[in-house]
Amino acid sequence: MTLWQGRFGGGKQSDEMLAFTESLSFDRRLAPDDIACSRAHVLGLERVGLVSHEESGALLSALAQAEEELAEGSFTFKQGDEDIHTALERRVTEIAGEVGARLHTGRSRNDQVATDLRLFTKRALCEVAKGVITLEEVLLARAEEAGDAYLPGYTHMQRAQPVLLAHHLLAHGWALSRDVDRLAATRRRLDVSPLGAGALAGSSLPLDPDWVARELGFGGRFENSLDAVSDRDFVAEALFDLALLGTHLSRLGEEVVLWCSAEFGFLHLADAYATGSSMMPQKKNADIAELARGKTGRLVGHLAGLLTTLKGLPLAYNRDLQEDKEPLMDSIDQTERALDAITGLIATATFDTQAMARAAADPALSATDLAEWLVLKGMPFRRSHELVGGLVRDSLERHVPLTELVAAHPSLGSEAVTLLEAGVAVTRRTTPGGAGPVAVAAQLERFTAAVRADAERFGLHVGAGLGRVGAAAPAPAPSPSGR
């Protein structure tokens, strides 16, 4: 069955045309949304008297039967079902008989598909956000448990200044919190019903788009029918949100890969979240982290692909728009899987805090502290920077420990030497948002509040996420007190 046979001579459509243009292979995932959309439409038609109460009842029960068949897997798609909308209308008509011919009254697949996809995206972004919040919770738990452990912070991949492990973990956490914020904003903007826009221009029938919008749980209806059927901004925005979220997971993944290397030795993965080598018996690899990094390429590609599809389209609907679904669905699926795997990996990995402390033991990592100590004594920073830089150079060239040079220097001496002791520099990062224990204790409180707010926005209760990671997840440690 096609939905347009009247205009055509009744001959068979070519297989090549159908093979190239069909979307059923991927838009069947929209079935629940298409049914919801049809239900609201039928109720709307009844409300304005375009179908009788009996007709509406017959259509609704046919829709319910189709829904049940889909759920139990007995729904049979037929040759010629070019998309989910066609398949469902065909089935409703088979079940309900003649009245099925009234289902599409005042509606086009153009407003229908836009409505379905908005419903789908709204739900899917909510699921993605839940996954992000779970990872936020795990990072928070691991940060709380990390206590006063510290490691070198890096700039240009060179050891720079020591930072608390908690601070480093929360840096990733804040990026994820911005992702949740973006997902919420995208969800808010896409919360507009296109149903009632028809093919492009609205309808001569007395439809009530405001009423069906409310019935579908949307925040409101479209303002312009041409815009309603051709707007895919929400897909582009969702793809951007997912690409940036993927980028954050990729950067986290890159650090996991580095930290698991013998060169760093900061992180040991649980067996359940690592992979081995088919040839080298000794290997333990961080494939999850590498794929979190690798798959981000395709998330970025999907965004670029959709924008390229959209950029030359005239108003209103063009079949090109069918190309919105596969990238969106793939980006959602890949991101959800990446989130689950990375969350499990982080929840179960072991931090080697001794290796971190060893890597941060070089007194040169306190060079900034020496220069700032001199500033507190009244020396201009440019002078103190030069003085300490000279000592570091001297120490390297003459192979004399920096501590000795500091002890012997007339402007520095034994008080300054204490700054070079292991673990001291990090305690001096006291400014708000800084990397030391006092500032991080405050940050932990703020991040806890941020995660709670993120969870509330998506109707979750905090802590719900940790359960999803399974038995492998460590219980969140109590917040270290006295910091």
List contacts with ligand ARG (CB under 6 A). Answer: 23, 27, 83, 109-110, 113, 317, 319, 321-322
275 DSSP β-pair partners: 285
- Output 143 or 229, the one with its CB closest to ligand ARG: 229
- Output 171 or 199, the one with its CB closest to ligand ARG: 199
Is 156 catalytic? The answer is yes
User: At closest approach, how far in Å is the CB of 116 from ligand ARG?
Assistant: 9
- Write out the E strands in 158-227: 158-164, 192-193, 220-221
Query: Parallel, antiparallel, or unpaired for β 150-155 and 267-268?
Result: unpaired
- Output 110 or 186, the one with its CB closest to ligand ARG: 110
Query: Is 403 within 8 Å of 420 (Cβ atoms)?
Result: yes
CA distance 104 to 85: 10
- Which tokens in the block code for residue 8? 């055509």
- Output 317 or 351, the one with its CB closest to ligand ARG: 317
Q: Is the dihedral of CA 435, 440, 442, 445 positive or negative?
A: positive
User: At closest approach, how far in Å is the CB of 44 from ligand ARG?
Assistant: 20
- Output 218 or 317, the one with its CB closest to ligand ARG: 317
User: At closest approach, how far in Å is the CB of 23 from ligand ARG?
Assistant: 4
User: At closest approach, how far in Å is the CB of 110 from ligand ARG?
Assistant: 5
- Output 121 or 348, the one with its CB closest to ligand ARG: 121
User: At closest approach, how far in Å is the CB of 99 from ligand ARG?
Assistant: 23
User: At closest approach, how far in Å is the CB of 222 from ligand ARG?
Assistant: 16
Among the options 25, 61, 261, 277, which is catalytic? 277
267 DSSP β-pair partners: 351
267 CB-near residues (< 8 Å, 6+ apart): 256, 259, 260, 349, 350, 351, 352
Among the options 14, 53, 74, 156, which is catalytic? 156
Query: Is 254 within 8 Å of 293 (Cβ atoms)?
Result: yes
Query: Is 105 within 8 Å of 50 (Cβ atoms)?
Result: yes
CA distance 139 to 150: 16
DSSP structure string for 295-339:
THHHHHHHHHHHHHHHHTPPSS--GGGGGGHHHHHHHHHHHHHHH
- Output 309 or 366, the one with its CB closest to ligand ARG: 309
The CA-atom distances, in angstroms, between 235 and each of 50, 189, 212, 239, 302 are 33, 11, 22, 6, 10
CA distance 370 to 419: 7
Is 74 catalytic? The answer is no
155 DSSP β-pair partners: 158
User: At closest approach, how far in Å is the CB of 30 from ligand ARG?
Assistant: 9
Which residue, chain included where needed, has tokens 């029960």?
Answer: 61
Catalytic residue annotation? 156, 277
